[in-house]
Structure 1
Amino acid sequence: MIKVIDGVNEIVGRIVSVVAVIFAAVIIYDVILRYVFNEPTRWAFDVSKQLFGFYFVLLGGYALRHKAHVRVDILTENFSHRTQRIVDVLGYLIFFFPFAWVFLTRSWDFALRSWNQAEVTYGAIQMPVYPLKMAMCAAAALLLLQGVSEVLKLILDRQEAKQ
């Protein structure tokens, strides 16, 4: 189960990382049109916001897998390895899983409401918003699953090799 969850978040992370290149290209394109040709685009701002939203939310599980989230280990750094694992598991149970569950359930309601209303942006162009809100829900599920993987690694005292 650990390998499957880690593998899914690894694949999603690598695919979504390409969005950063597209995001940068859209911004560069808009800047060149705006300042070199004095012809700003009507769509680049909205598109770049949407792309950044996808990029930001969908990398949560990938970041957790690679230990990229902020940790405050100042209190636990002097604990034994076993005690550190116990504290980490308790942290996941008390803080992470309730947060991830609320994130998942609320983002599901948020996405469903947006889908049912066919919600669009208020910018110069009317882009659909529900794909980004659905991505929030997918991101919450990926984050929650990665949390399960991390707790299993702690309980089994395993460090999975990074791919």
Structure 2
Amino acid sequence: MNALLNFSRRVDAMTESVGKAATWIVLLVVLISAGNAVMRYTISYSSNALLEIQWYLFGAIFFACSGYTLLRNEHVRIDLIASKFSRRGQAWIDILGIIFFLMPMAVAIIYFSWPVFLHAFESGEMSNSAGGLIVWPARLMIPAGFLLLSLQALSELIKRVGFLKGLCADPTDKGKNPTAEEELALAIKTNRGEAE
């Protein structure tokens, strides 16, 4: 079990790195979107490639951050029933949800999306839009994103079992870590203080 927990820590570290890197993709999307809008209204230039790269990057953010969201325990849950259980009961609900719902769904999507990516890659499929981009990078995001989600789901499963065996802390306990909203408010406050 210790080897599995060590594996889980490595997956968590990788997921954390991917999630933090995705924040830079958000900045890139904003810059491309703003640049595209400025060019369209100032010099009457627009490009399908610029529009499509925004869509590709939005997809990359979504797929890169699905595992990160699971790691941070910020995914959508139905706590109406689970909240009535003890922490151990909630861990069992998570274990059953991961084994019977999350993992089969993620593995099925990887299985069915991989041939679609391979076909797009081997055929050099291009966008139907004039001046559009090649399609295979967008097709690759689906199996890659669900692979990241599957690895994080496996890590969460290991942590839940470790918690039930008393080998690690409750992985759903957020402790005193600030929420995303609190982190943003603190960053704004800090930046405002530096500006003054």
Report what 1:20 is aligned to: 26
Gap runs ≥5 in structure 2: 1-6, 164-168, 178-196
Show the counterpart of 2:118. Answer: 112
Which residue, 66, 71, 91 being the options, matches 1:85? 91
The sequence identity of aligned pairs, in percent, is: 26
> Residue deviations 1:19-38, cap 9 Å, x none?
11111111100111112333
Q: Secondary structure at 2:82's aligned position in 1?
A: coil
Q: How much does 1:43 deviate?
A: 2.7
From 59, 69, 89, the counterpart of 2:65: 59
Q: Which moved more, 1:21-30 or 1:132-141?
A: 132-141
Any conservation in 2 of the 1:46–1:125 contact (CA below 8 Å)?
Answer: no
Alignment of 1:68-83 (within 5 A): 68-83=74-89
Please report how far the alpha carbon of residue 39 of structure 1 lies from its aligned counterpart in structure 2 after TM superposition.
2.8
Letter in 2 for 1:47: I
Task: Pick which of 131-140 and 69-78 moved more.
Answer: 131-140
SS at match of 1:128: coil
Q: Which has the higher contact order (CA 8 A, sep 6+)?
A: 1
- Provide the rounded CA distance (Å) in 1 between the counterparts of 2:48 and 2:113: 29
Per the alignment, residue 39 of structure 2 pairs with: 33
Total equivalences in the alignment: 162
1:149 paired residue number: 155
Displacement of 1:42: 4.3
Q: In the aligned structure 1, how far is the partner of 2:135 from the partner of 2:34?
A: 23
What is the CA–CA distance in structure 2 between the aligned matches of 1:22 and 1:29, rounded to whole Å? 10
Q: Is the 8 A contact 1:100 1:140 kept in 2?
A: yes
Preserved CA contact (<8 Å) 2:95 2:160: yes
Query: Is 1:46–1:123's contact at 8 Å kept on the other side of the alignment?
Result: no
Report the TM-score, using the length of structure 2 for normalisation. Answer: 0.77
User: Looking at CA atoms only, which structure, 1 or 2, has the larger radius of gyration?
Assistant: 2
**Cα distance between partner residues in 2 of 1:11 and 1:127:** 28
Distance 2:100 2:48 in 1: 46
Unmatched tracts of structure 1, length 5 or more: none
Instruction: Specify which structure has the higher proportion of helix.
Output: 2
Q: Considering only aligned residues, what root-mean-square deviation do their CA atoms show, in Å?
A: 1.7
Which moved further from structure 2: 11-20 or 34-43? 34-43
